[in-house]
């Protein structure tokens, strides 16, 4: 089974973020970068499938030179080879444009399965993997916690609302978007880190894939949420205060 895993490099969760001068993105200088969390779970799912059934795991990521370190991290954990799609400013690509990039890179691999994370930690759009499936003309399912290979294709477990789960079957090739928390993530071993240095990472540009950004959705402005504090003193009998408090929690704070 050949599995392609699309991974994204995002700022580390605890990294201090500053908005750039244009107000359209964050200052990237001196930031620490890491693999997107749900993409790490997608990689883990792929590695476990490979260990059970054999095959090859190919990691795919789009971005500037720094993305190479995240690809090498995936190779150190057990992926077999990598594909780096060179694009200097991935923030300028909307979900459709990025999906086109990934889909064209995937098309030449003819994989049995494509895995992506459910959504990215930076933009959180949750669209790229689904659009990739549409562009490739493949069946897809989202919110996946577990994947099982069957004689007919795949059996997957999906997380639904309010603690409900759903199990469905679908044929291969297919595209799945993986939810965080389905597996325990592994660490790269020292031997894995050494081996990663010798594994193939093929570099390709957007021009070579025949894809231009041509964004249909533009990020016009980002801003830091405004913090607001207010204090209200409730007066009256305990019964009246309790009733007023419940009303405010329901209709103003909206936590009930």
Q: Is residue 237 part of a domain?
A: no
Among the listed ranges 19-28, 103-112, 220-229, which one has the minimum average pLDDT value? 220-229
Instruction: Give the pLDDT of residue 42.
Output: 97
In a domain, 84, yes or no: yes
**Type and span of the H or E element at 59:** strand 56-63
User: Domain of 185?
Assistant: 2-209
**Residue 154 maps to a domain:** yes
pLDDT of 148 > 90? The answer is yes
Q: How far is CA 223 from CA 25, 168, 190, 220, 227, in A?
A: 9, 41, 41, 10, 12
Strand-strand pairing, 9-11 and 33-35? antiparallel
Q: What is the pTM of this model?
A: 0.85
> What is the domain-level CATH number for residue 150?
3.40.50.620
Q: Is the model's pLDDT at 76 over the cut of 80?
A: yes
Identify the burial level of 3 via C-beta atoms within 10 angstroms of its C-beta, where 0-12 means exposed, 13-18 middle and 19 or more buried. Answer: buried
In a domain, 24, yes or no: yes
Given a cut of 90, whether residue 17 has pLDDT beyond it is no
Is 244 part of a structural domain of the chain? no
pLDDT at 20: 86
In the predicted structure, residue 37 carries a pLDDT above the cut 90 = yes
Whether residue 91 is predicted with pLDDT greater than 80 in this model: the reply is no
Residue 236 lies in a domain: no
Does residue 161 have a pLDDT over 90? Answer: no
Q: For residue 238, tell me if it sits in a domain.
A: no
Residue 232 inside a domain? The answer is no
Per-residue pLDDT, 15: 83
Model confidence over 218-252: pLDDT tens digits?
Answer: 888 888 877 777 788 889 999 999 999 999 888 88
Structure tokens at 108: 């030449």
How many domains does the chain contain in total?
1
Number of H helices and E strands in the chain, helices first, is: 7, 11
Helix (H, G, I), strand (E, B) or coil at 7: coil
Beta strands 2-6; 56-63: pairing state? parallel
| Predicted local confidence at residue 123, as pLDDT | 86
């Amino acid at each position: 089974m050949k599995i392609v895993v699309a991974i994204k490099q995002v700022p580390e969760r605890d990294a201090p973020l500053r908005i750039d001068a244009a107000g359209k993105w964050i200052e990237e200088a001196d930031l620490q970068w890491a693999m997107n969390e749900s993409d790490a779970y997608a990689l883990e799912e792929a590695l476990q499938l490979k260990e059970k059934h054999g095959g090859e795991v190919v990691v795919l990521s789009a971005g500037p030179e720094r993305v190479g370190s995240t690809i090498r991290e995936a190779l150190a954990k057990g992926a077999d080879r990598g594909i780096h799609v060179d694009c200097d400013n991935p923030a300028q690509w909307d979900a459709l444009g990025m999906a086109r990039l990934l889909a064209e890179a995937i098309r030449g691999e003819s994989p049995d399965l494509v895995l992506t994370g459910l959504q990215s930690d930076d933009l959180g759009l949750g669209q790229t993997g689904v659009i990739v499936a549409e562009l490739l003309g493949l069946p897809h399912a989202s919110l996946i916690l577990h994947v099982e290979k069957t004689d007919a294709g795949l059996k997957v477990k999906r997380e639904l609302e309010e603690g409900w789960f759903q199990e469905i079957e679908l044929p291969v090739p297919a595209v799945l978007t993986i939810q965080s928390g389905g597996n325990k993530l592994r660490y790269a071993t020292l031997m894995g880190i050494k081996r990663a240095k010798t594994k193939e990472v093929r570099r390709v540009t957007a021009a070579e894939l025949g894809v231009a950004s041509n964004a249909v959705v533009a990020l016009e402005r980002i801003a830091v949420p405004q913090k607001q504090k207010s204090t209200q003193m409730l007066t009256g009998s305990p019964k009246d205060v309790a009733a007023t408090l419940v009303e405010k929690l329901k209709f103003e704070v909206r936590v009930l």
